[in-house]
Chain A
Amino acid sequence: MELRSNEFKTRAAANLGDEKLQRGLGLIKVKAVVNRANAVAEFGDFETLREVGKAIRDRALADLDLYLERFEREAVARGAVVHWAENASEACRIVVDIARENGVRTVAKAKSMVSEEVGLNDALIEAGIEPIETDLGEYILQINDAEPPSHIVMPVIHKTAEDVADLFHAKHGTPRKTDPAALTREAREILRPKFLSADMGVSGANFLIAETGSTLIVTNEGNGRLCTTLPRLHVAITGIEKVVATLEDASTLLRLLPRSATGQAITNYVSLHTGPKRLEESDGPQQFHIVLVDNGRSKLLAGEMREMLRCIRCGACMNHCPVYQAVGGHAYGWVYPGPMGNILTPSYVGLENAIALPNAATMCNQCGVVCPVKIPLPDLMRKLREEQMERGLKPWPERLGLALWGWAAQQPALYALGTRIAVRFMKWLGGREKLIHRLPLASGWSDGRDFPAPEGQTFRELYKERRQ
């Protein structure tokens, strides 16, 4: 996916004025936030569940190498082929090679953010292989000139039903319809033969289960099950951090994931893939390949962003983020938007390529309190800000301002004098209305807001006067 994270500020500002986008984004609160709150209330002691989820993920990460080796052993023992990809291009090459060796012409794809991360569709197309996205949202994006998703769980949340009506009418050449059920039926009719004719199915994996060598996916549309059982080959592609020790661990995380993502107690489908079709079985692929992608993850494991690897990709952080809710996912300029993206994007593509993202948060910690595995997202963003400071990646006016203010705040006498002057100046700026309409050097504030003028004397001064 094209990296545009350094355009965050301008794209975010533009999106604020996009009325259609805002209507789409409005649904997040209705769909995700309210539903999650209800599901959590219904569950009861969700806090303890979060603690347990965190412990499960921490345990897996503490011995990640051992669990991955166990996973590989068990998967291979059950007939799967495990591939290791150090980076995005290697992951793509592995999948393309599998496809070529098996004469694959079409690929039915279930939803996979890792496939977005590594740019799999482009690689397949370049190799003359046709990928078809079968998740409804991803399909809509694919036929809209491969538009990137704006959310990891609800990829087309930025679109309205009207947008989809126009798109289907234009791309399918069918009469325009706006009823979501009718639109879904239309997509279904187009996709069904694609499932049946696809040579290869590609899915992600929400979890890798070390003790059985299984991959697990959760879906709501059933397309994942078709992609992984109908074609003669199944390729599961996912990140190395997705491994958990046991089926028991996975089932605990399954209590957290759908509740946090969509407010469902369980998704419509939970599919476990353990090896290819066996002789006595009637369904399933003849070959099952699992591509385990590093692409920066092992580097995180050794550093300060390690806790981010607990992430189970529910999207609750973005659903609850006031900034994401206002600007939408595209503004973040890469695969993972919202608070998780503020950490993952700079971690995976380089801090200098995503300067704004760690700062694009009010530190309200709404993300931290809903995260099902208790990732301290604001703390991680702050650490990235510290790294920006250390590496001189912050703009000079900010560094100068901070240095001056920081120095003055450590000189009480000078600080007292400086603030006495400042509040008098600001009082004067505020005039009779006592409102400053234009703040010098701070148009970011005053372009859209007044600044309530101070009273003209500091507390420090008044307190001294009153004590005398």
Chain B
Amino acid sequence: MRVALFVTCLADLMRPGVAFAAIRLLEHGGCTVEVPQTQTCCGQPAYNSGDRATAIALARKVLVEFEGFDYVVAPSGSCGGMIRAHYPELFRDDPATLKRIEALAARTWELTDFLANVLKLDSVPGDFKGTVTYHDSCSGLRELGVKAQPRALLAKLPGLKLTEMNEAETCCGFGGTFSLKFGEVSTQLADNKCGHACATGADAIVGGDLGCLLNIEGRLRRRGDLKTKVLHVAEILAGDERLKS
């Protein structure tokens, strides 16, 4: 099974470990993982900013880079949701491309969804010990139905205890460029999220999207909490080295 990793621009820049963890998990499940080297971004920032032309151009680029694989997997519900739920709409007036885009969309998966529902992993390589709480990212949850999948995978780690926070499904306030344009509101929502997460007393806040995680960690540190870890679910499941340092 040839799987292309959609690295995501945030993992590429901010947390390469997340992409390496995703590769380890996919290989653990028996996949041959390839990483198209010319990939950059799925185009969602342009799409949500109203720059449809750029979004279409980037979607075409992704199509060319990724359409030859059995599956495309992204460690992000946001990028996965963009390809799966929104790309087809971009090509509604271009039937020839639409057909190819729909085929790509149907083969594109968010990482935990893929691990749980396609690979049906029996075990995961990680060995995290401690309590975690899980933040449901909006796109993954509401566009792709990612809710039970990460929890089922985390449950395979014997040393891990999941304590749910209140309002786990409420937006953390990131929203891409929203976090810059409406900084005060965005910060308030991040603060609410930190409050709910910290109330669980968990050692780590875990999620499936780096945008949310950077936002939550950024607010958490500003609140003075330097202790609670903020981790991508792939890092925990794969047993990323950064956890052990």
Write the residues of chain A forming the contact surface with B, with a CB cutoff of 8 angstroms: 9, 12-13, 16, 322-323, 326-327, 359-366, 368-369, 379, 382, 384-390, 394, 398, 402-403, 405-406, 408-410, 412, 415, 419, 422-423, 435, 442-445, 447-452, 454-455, 457-460, 462-463
Contacts and interface: CB of A to CB of B under 8 A. Distances in A.
Contact of B41 (A360, A389, A409, A454): A409
B182 A360 contact: yes
A412 B40 contact: yes
Interface of B: 7, 9, 11-17, 19-20, 35, 37-41, 43, 45-52, 54, 57-58, 61, 89, 138-139, 142-143, 169-171, 173-192, 214-215, 217-219, 221-222, 230
B175 A406 contact: no
Given A364-B142, A389-B51, A449-B222, A459 B190 contact: no
Nearest to B184: A13
A9 B186 CA distance: 12
Contacts of B139: 365
A455 B183 CA distance: 25
Contacts of A452: 14, 214, 217-218, 221, 230
A122 B107 CA distance: 58
B171 A449 contact: no
Chain B interface mostly helix, strand, loop or mixed? helix
A101 B88 CA distance: 58
A299 to B, nearest CB: 20
Nearest to B65: A412
A18 to B, nearest CB: 12
Nearest to B193: A322
A455 B16 contact: yes
A362 B16 contact: no
Contacts of B214: 451-452
A406 B12 contact: no
Given A365-B138, A365-B143, A448-B187, 18 more contacts: A12-B184, A326-B192, A327-B185, A361-B175, A362-B171, A369-B142, A389-B51, A398-B177, A409-B9, A410-B61, A412-B37, A444-B183, A445-B186, A449-B218, A449-B222, A450-B219, A458-B12, A459-B7
Nearest to A398: B49
Contacts of B179: 444-445
Contacts of A398: 49, 177, 181
A325 to B, nearest CB: 9
